[in-house]
Amino acid sequence: MEVDYGHDAYVLSGSMTPSKQLLADFKCDSAIVISDTTSFAREIAKQIPDFKAGLEGPCSYQYRRIIEKDLGWLDFGTQEETSDLSKMDAEVVTRMYSELNTADAYFLKREVHRHQGEYRFIWLTYGPVKPVIDIVVPDARRYCVPWEGQGDVLAY
């Protein structure tokens, strides 16, 4: 079964392994280091419309972006083979969906991007999100410091 995630989330990505090469890959000439990620995310959350909950952490790199779980035996209430959820027992489909609806879904990334060492901030909302929001959060700046390049690895 395929489930779609993220329509209720704003995402900010960073890297745990910053380098000059990574900046070049993303066509950037500057960066910040976030010294306290949770406090930084909390300040941002105060400005997110309809904020519900937050998540943060490193991405999990896999060859296929799927979550596999043993849900045990599920009786979908139909004898015919179908992927049409409307023909299945709604309670069973809801239970199955809730078992698959884990934070893991927000941190999956294809193996080809492992060199990015991505760290994500996720702000979940009570409804669908806009494609882009512009917020100003001066209080979050106290958790950020500019980087200065030393060799290939970024330092602060």
Residues 86-141 have pLDDT tens digits of 666 677 767 776 666 677 788 888 899 898 899 999 999 998 899 899 999 999 99
Q: How far is CA 79 from CA 5, 74, 75, 102, 148, in A?
A: 29, 12, 9, 29, 63
Nearest CA to 115 out of 12, 18, 13, 11 is that of 18
19 secondary structure, DSSP code: B
Mean pLDDT of the chain: 82
Among 13-17, 66-70, 77-81, which is the least confidently predicted range?
Answer: 77-81
Among 25-29, 53-57, 85-89, which is the least confidently predicted range?
Answer: 85-89
Average pLDDT over residues 35-54: 96
Nearest CA to 121 out of 98, 101, 143, 148 is that of 143
Average pLDDT over residues 31-46: 95
DSSP 109-129: EEGGGGGG-EEEEEEEESSPP
pLDDT of 79 higher than 80: no
Q: Give the predicted TM-score (pTM) of the model.
A: 0.75
State residue 52's pLDDT score: 96
pLDDT of 155 higher than 60: no
Average pLDDT over residues 49-78: 80
Nearest CA to 90 out of 76, 72, 69, 101 is that of 76
Residues in the chain, total = 156
Residue 25: pLDDT band by 50, 70, 90 thresholds?
A: confident
